Structure 1
């Protein structure tokens, strides 16, 4: 078994630098190689190489750094506190980690990590297809032998294009694993195994996490907060989000984020228009939640996303409260009403993506009206005899209103 595209001597350097410790290639490269061989899937190219060492990964990284020298080494970042390191050798990205086992002090919390054996490291993973390894070992003639390790039946699941969780408490420990399942399903065309789907439904029904909907957002465990957000961002930014989101909804998994999103039937249209308007997709998706601001706070969306949702909610309330005559307003009154409230272009675009309010004036404001300046400048008005001060601003607004009302509605 060979990995296409590896620079000459890299595997030999890895084995030599491991200094007799067990070293194995894990993760996407192994999975993609087996899919390429079993299913004749197209080779996706050499991805980052994830390696696990029974021992100190930072020490392995240091030996590799000395071996490579400045000509072959792009960078080397060592994270001693976490037992990990990242290197670029001959243009190949290497992620090194010390073999470890994980235990969860409570469902959904961050795991407690301890150094362990390679078998323990494979057993802590999410799906059987990610618990396959290629162990690197020296062989006669100075070459490297690759021995396949598959203690959890991952090859059979690869052959069946099936995503199977490793143990019965996988989703209780870490519910973000179901989002990774949706990402793999969208990317690889896999299905969630029946037993794993049953585990998902059973776990959601039991809701084993200490935090429940309605509790204070900041009390949510990381797997229902920041880690959940990071998985959603990866899904929306790197995968076919239409396929991935459809899987999550079909599986009934969206109550992990909010119950209202499970029954949302307009997310495709909303995200399509959000993409057209250049909006961030995660806030646009969360706009259909019953309480978007509470969900955004629990997921700890970056400030920009939380501010966008706050402006959107304010705009939604205003549109709902205005009298029915608003569609007949002239462009100047629409512009004044939107701009006086500090309505951002993004919030109006999100309202359009959601389908709120009278579409035509909102779209005209977003496309054109907001860009129109007064037909004269302040300098010109002062030259004409108007003194600087509040009256000057009022005159500029009046001239702009006149210009706006000459626009097509």
Structure 2
């Protein structure tokens, strides 16, 4: 096995320790296998190895102990053990590695967290999301394992769910599909698209407990948020969101997001203003705050959304005149106590008054009086309310002169 950027000594050490313990399978899994094949066979640029994930048919902790015995503690550093299945993370010769025991899983109900137990490499690969991510390179046998025709889909540029109930088991795979399709430029296979249509047609599923019908499990909402965050932070998000809209999949988050013609423009404004993209996306929902709460986005972003709604109401009711001076706009906005980010978020909606909002966000709010309270006292002013009034007067004058 040859991995650009990974010394052969690292792979030889892993192979030697696995064979010493009689481990039948030690396999590299995940996106590295996919990206290596895209690089070798399809001419894609090699983007490097951010991490190396290995699946062990056996005891991962015992394999680490054998590595320490054979290589010595100077080559093995930053050891961390976590997880019910003895997953271990460490560095070997400075290369980050993760070892996990092979496992299998089943879903007790639609979209619920899976029940996981120890299994084989074959069962572990069957847990994956897409055929192109369900391949492995076995270091012990020195072979590529492709049980689900992932190489064929790589060659044809197809993104295909691993099995017929992939989306039924975990709807967050739909967002993952948009992430990979946008990043790799792949097309979603027809049967995979049919899975998405079937899921959305039944959404939201009723989760029953006795005679009561409950909302979606919190764990599912959290997983949806995490996948959406990855899409917005790491991927070509405009293309990925367009794909979700094309697949009619945005109702998984909120039905009104499917009919949101200003989505991309709003997010481009948010990026330009240095705002997180998530709240800007949720502004297109029927009730942005409710969706934000359900997805459990950070509390401060929920507050921005709530205040953005209040700003929109204020702009429709009693705002200053559009041509009012910078000081009048600044006083009106600041008297409300809104967070600056909420005002910037309101700019992304492009209301009629977006220009004074933008100027306050970008310039007017940062302008200060030319003197400080200390300067005024040194000049003979007596401490008291008059100093505050003078500082406000100076600041207003400086704002108005900045036009």
- TM-score, structure 2 normalization: 0.91
1:271-310 matches, cutoff 5 A: 271-310=267-306
For 1:90, which of 63, 68, 93 is the aligned residue?
93
Q: C-alpha distance in 1, partners of 2:112/2:205?
A: 9
1:28 to 2:31 alignment: yes
1:363 to 2:358 alignment: yes
Cα pair 2:109 2:169 within 8 Å, conserved: yes
1:127-142 matches, cutoff 5 A: 127-137=130-140
Q: Secondary structure at the match of 2:305?
A: helix
Q: 1:43 to 1:303 in 2, by over 3 A?
A: same
For 1:326, which of 321, 326, 332 is the aligned residue?
321
For 2:193, which of 189, 197, 202 is the aligned residue?
197
Shift of the alpha carbon at 1:25? Answer: 1.3
Q: 1:68 to 1:284 in 2, by over 3 A?
A: farther
Partner of 1:338: 333
Alpha-carbon RMSD across the aligned residues, in angstroms, is: 2.2
1:3-402 matches, cutoff 5 A: 3-18=3-18, 19-21=21-23, 22-137=25-140, 145-207=141-203, 209-210=205-206, 219-222=215-218, 224-322=220-318, 326-383=321-378, 386-402=381-397
Shift of the alpha carbon at 1:80? Answer: 4.5
Shift of the alpha carbon at 1:382? Answer: 3.6
What does the per-residue CA deviation read over 1:156-198, in whole Å, with 9 as the maximum and x for residues that have no partner? 1111111111122111111111111111111211111000000
What does the per-residue CA deviation read over 1:259-303, in whole Å, with 9 as the maximum and x for residues that have no partner? 111111222221212111111111221122221111111111122
Cα pair 1:49 1:93 within 8 Å, conserved: yes
Q: Secondary structure at the match of 1:110?
A: coil
Q: C-alpha distance in 2, partners of 1:306/1:193?
A: 36
Q: 1:381 to 1:44 in 2, by over 3 A?
A: closer
Q: Secondary structure at the match of 2:322?
A: helix
Q: Secondary structure at the match of 1:156?
A: helix
Q: C-alpha distance in 1, partners of 2:170/2:83?
A: 25
Q: C-alpha distance in 2, partners of 1:357/1:57?
A: 61
Q: Secondary structure at the match of 2:84?
A: helix
Unaligned 5+ runs, structure 2: 209-213
Q: Secondary structure at the match of 1:9?
A: helix
Q: C-alpha distance in 1, partners of 2:6/2:65?
A: 21
Q: 1:313 to 1:60 in 2, by over 3 A?
A: farther
Shift of the alpha carbon at 1:230? Answer: 0.9
Shift of the alpha carbon at 1:356? Answer: 2.4
